[in-house]
Amino acid sequence: MRALQYGQLKRSVQAGCIAARMPWGFCPRADRVVMRGAVRWATVGAVVGLVATAAGTHAGSAQEPPPPTDTVTFTFTGEIVDGVIDVPVIAAVVKVPGLRRFAFTDVNGRFFFTDFPEGTWEIIVEHLGYNTVEGAVTVAEGNGLFLRMTPDPVALEGFEVLTRSDRLLAERRQRFPFRVTRISPTMLANAISADPTAIFRRNSMSYISACPTRPTRATDWMTPDCVMKSGGAARISIYLDEFPMAGGMTHLSAIPKELIHSMDWIPEKAELRVYTRAFIQRLDEGAYSLEPLIWQ
């Protein structure tokens, strides 16, 4: 009778270890379990049952799939029309700086973005001869964008002649997916200060300050050459007539403003493009072409 009970106990312990997936080294040996009534059997069964239940619970939780993290995307479409005569605006550029993407409107004034994520995004719409439209827009699948652009009134009487340089510079600004601030010849002519760097700081719409790593000279404070961005201070790169200007803001401040035609300020790249009147003249004569602000 005792041998029969011992065999039943051994098989029960082994079955419990197999169910709990316990290594044999941790499985209790049946010959060390002393049976003295029903209490011992209940104790062994409870221990093995708890181990099996815990192992089963852990295995079940490990099989649960992780929560989905994919962003919902869709095809975002829209239409741009003239706000006065209600006709499509052709070749308007629609920029989404947060996604580094842009698109142009077709002959019907329509545009689209594929794989566009849902959410709130800043959108900028530009076209030569129209006032820029910009703002934050919340988009989702099934929603489109309809915008009206108001024409930019011509300051001069009669017709304004669009020169080759104006067209090339405007097209390059439109093809850049981020904001480009233009400091026009009118802004330079009407500025009270004769310092080009001061005119730039006043019209840049950015926080320009001295670089924190090198405010060692008086000129560093008088001609600050860093822009404050979300990631910290970034040193401004200056290009004079499409060539890097080694002297930076210090050398730019020494150029008479009468020699400068206009400037393009690109905050995203911390880059200032300065164009002299002589360069613009050569550009109008067809001697030069412009490289894009960013290579796609």
- H or E element: which one contains 120? strand 119-126
pLDDT at 53: 44
Sign of the Cα torsion 163, 168, 173, 177 reads positive
Say how far apart CA 37 and CA 43 lie, in whole Å: 11
pLDDT at 23: 53
Mean pLDDT in order along the chain per 10 residues (296 residues): 49 55 52 42 42 42 47 91 90 90 92 93 89 90 90 58 85 86 92 92 89 63 81 89 89 92 93 94 84 70
Structural Rg of the chain based on CA atoms: 36
| 3-class state of residue 220 by DSSP | helix
The phi and psi torsions of 106 (rounded to 5 degrees) equal: -90, -165
Decide: 210 and 221 in contact? Cβ < 8 Å. yes
Decide: 9 and 42 in contact? Cβ < 8 Å. no
Q: Residue 8: how many CB atoms within 10 A of its CB? A: 13
Say how far apart CA 186 and CA 78 lie, in whole Å: 34
* Architecture of the domain spanning 67-153: Sandwich (2.60)
**C-alpha separations of 115 from 19, 58, 194 in Å:** 49, 39, 49
Total-model pTM: 0.55
Q: Residue 122: how many CB atoms within 10 A of its CB? A: 14
| Non-local CB neighbours of 265 within 8 Å, separated by 6+ positions | 180, 181, 182, 183, 200, 203, 204, 206, 271, 272, 273
- How is residue 89 written in tokens? 């605006």
174 closest CA partner among 126, 135, 133: 126
Question: Which one-letter DSSP state was computed for residue 118?
Answer: S
pLDDT at 148: 93
| Non-local CB neighbours of 268 within 8 Å, separated by 6+ positions | 97, 178, 179
pLDDT at 44: 42
pLDDT at 217: 58
Say how far apart CA 149 and CA 130 lie, in whole Å: 6
36 closest CA partner among 5, 15, 8, 14: 5
Task: Tell the CATH topology of 162-296.
Answer: Ferric Hydroxamate Uptake Protein; Chain A, domain 1 (2.170.130)
- Write the burial class of residue 230 (CB in 10 Å: 0-12 exposed, 13-18 middle, 19+ buried): exposed
Q: Residue 95: how many CB atoms within 10 A of its CB? A: 24
Q: What is the dihedral of CA 25, 30, 36, 42, to 10 degrees?
A: 70
pLDDT at 290: 85
Decide: 207 and 227 in contact? Cβ < 8 Å. yes
